[in-house]
Amino acid sequence: MQAIEAEAARLYLKARESDAAEDWDAAYAWVAQDAAHGFAFAKAEAGWELAARLNELRAGASDCHVPDPAPEEEWRPDDQRHWIGRRGLFAGLAAAASIGVVATVALRLLGTVDHYRTAIGETRTVRLADGSLVHLNTDSSVEVALRDDVRSIKLLKGEARFDVAHDGRRPFIVNAEGTLVRAVGTMFNVRLRAEVTELTVIEGIVAVRNGGSAVRRIESGRSAAVRSGSIAVTYLEPAKIKRRIAWQQGMVEFDGDTLAQAVEEFNRYRATPLVIGDPAIASLRVGGAFRLDRSQDFVDALESGFDVRAVPGDDNSIILVSADGQ
């Protein structure tokens, strides 16, 4: 049995750390082989949650509301609760094994954690038990834990829009790589970029903090770029907000973006990339609305409206070069 539990811990930790579909598939395939595998895997998952949450769990948050940001102790940073390292996982597993029923008790007390993800090019809408909606963009992943005192969401990668059902007793807290966004009933979009976390408030007000930063209130029609304890807030005109969330209608919109920016955006939805093969065309300014699943329409528009030539690769990639270089 010890060997089975060790393998369950290894598979769970590997999948949890990589969040790769193939690692989760391998873990679930192993679970399906034997009922004992399933029990051990559930214990591993519960042990992780137990060790992490008992380390962080504290009272409060039931009276907090957005217009008056709660004091520090009422925030519940999931990054500390979940990402406690390999030692914490095995400490939790040891506790679960020694107590016997602690995994079941922990799951009932703390609530289960649900995991939702999308593949490259896929978008998805999930309705949570509290009535909130989570719209996942391409290649995105979230964890959801709905408990009696707080609704806790962890954006692991990608981008998501949250339509939050009002519940004054349970704040809705999104953790995006250490950026905490707290709301009660509102609508906002969070995107994990390479250098910053990008927040767009579509409706209502949210409270934001990052690291040791002060809590900032961000109102609808505003965006925040968050990085390393800094929160930079800017006003967005309605048209720009519309462009930022156009992906929910299966579209991507450009208005004076550079070709490099447009290519980067399209590549989020392609299994094989568009590649700028000539630096001279990277700064071209482009505009228009295109279907996310029809990047060839964008390429055709480049060839007809600009001095750009598209060279297809055998792997379905497309290299964009200057037509003058023919």
User: How do residues 134-153 score in pLDDT, each as one tens digit?
Assistant: 999 999 999 999 988 889 99
Fold of the 250-325 domain: Phage tail protein beta-alpha-beta fold (3.55.50)
Unique residue bearing structure tokens 């040891």: 94
> Is the separation of the CB atoms in 295 and 278 below 8 Å?
no
CATH 3.55.50.30 boundaries in the chain: 250-325
- Answer yes or no: pTM beyond 0.85: no
DSSP 69: P
Identify the three-state secondary structure at position 239: helix
What is the average pLDDT score of the chain? 81
The pLDDT of 115-136, averaged and rounded, is: 96
User: What pLDDT band is residue 160 in, cutting at 50, 70 and 90?
Assistant: very high
Strands 141-146 and 114-117: antiparallel
Rounded to 5°, the CA angle 68-73-79 comes to 105
> Is the separation of the CB atoms in 315 and 272 below 8 Å?
yes
Ranking 50-64, 192-206, 261-275 by mean pLDDT, the lowest is: 50-64
- State how far the Cα of 261 lies from the Cα of 257, in Å rounded to an integer: 6
Work out the burial of residue 256: count CB atoms within 10 Å of its CB; fewer than 13 is exposed, 13-18 middle, 19 or more buried. Answer: exposed
Query: Per-residue pLDDT for 44 more than 70?
Result: yes
236-293 pLDDT, tens digit per residue, is 999 999 999 999 999 999 999 999 999 999 999 999 999 999 999 999 999 999 999 9
Q: What would the CATH number be for the domain defined by 113-236?
A: 2.60.120.1440
In the chain, where do the E strands start and end? 114-117, 124-127, 133-136, 141-146, 151-157, 159-163, 172-176, 179-183, 187-192, 197-203, 205-210, 216-219, 222-227, 230-235, 251-258, 274-276, 285-291, 308-312, 318-322
CATH 2.60.120.1440 boundaries in the chain: 113-236
pLDDT of residue 87: 44
